[in-house]
Amino acid sequence: MINLAGKRALVTGSGRGIGREIALKLAAAGADVVITDVDLESAKQTSKDIQALGRKSIAVQADVSSQESVQKLFETCAADFGTIEILVNNAGITRDNLLIRMPEADWDLVLNVNLKSVFLCTKEAIRPMMKARYGRIINIASVIGLMGNASQVNYAAAKAGIIGVTMSVAKEYAVKNITANAIAPGFIQSAMTDKLSPEVRQKYVDYIPLARLGTAEDVANAVLFLASPLADYITGQVLTVDGGMVM
């Protein structure tokens, strides 16, 4: 059984969805977890649920695409929580459209929230990790960053960029016993996929060798593995959690 007792984690975008499931999974394994989201009320609820598991947790409202907001987030973590040893960069949004119809603002927003946030949060987390000579950085990418997708040029660019950042950070900081890995989920059951028509949903399922959509727990299990001692000798890798879509 994986034991993360004594470890402190920060999961961005953890008020709901995959981020919430990741945070709960880490807490169930014994980690204390900082919950951050632009939606403070959802962050508070996730934090409360973690406290009910007997773990320490705080909820911090933050815009992880803003340098000032990220700096304040990590100042709060240092003051109220201590050094973050496990960073999960999960925050992300979509603004889908065909390239020729995509407003520049939607390109900038998706790149800032999905990719710039990884740069900002990792930069803040890395120095204390270096001093401790220990750190686990796990970035949530996407299979779209590996294979592209129509109407998602901004999202694909951001997720491909996350993979590049992950590999570069892995090479820079391995000497400090800091690992960096990415997880690339495939089609995951979510509020968005729940809105799809049965026909469209079935088309997605037909594309997946394991013949089902993934779940938030499938992704959280992969994060738990990469955050644990079981993955101490793994860095610079992209783990696809996609039911066999990309192989």
Catalytic residue among 134, 155, 204, 233: 155
Backbone dihedral region of 177: left (phi > 0), alpha (psi from -120 to 50 degrees) or beta? left
Q: Which residue has the tokens 């034991």?
A: 3
* Dist CA 235 CA 84 (whole Å): 18
Nearest to 225 by CA among 26, 89, 53, 13: 26
Three-state DSSP at 185 gives strand
Check if 155 is active-site: yes
CA separation, residue 175 to residues 133, 164, 178 (Å): 9, 19, 7
The Cα angle at residue 11 between residues 147 and 242, in degrees rounded to 5? 30
What residues are annotated to the active site?
A: 155
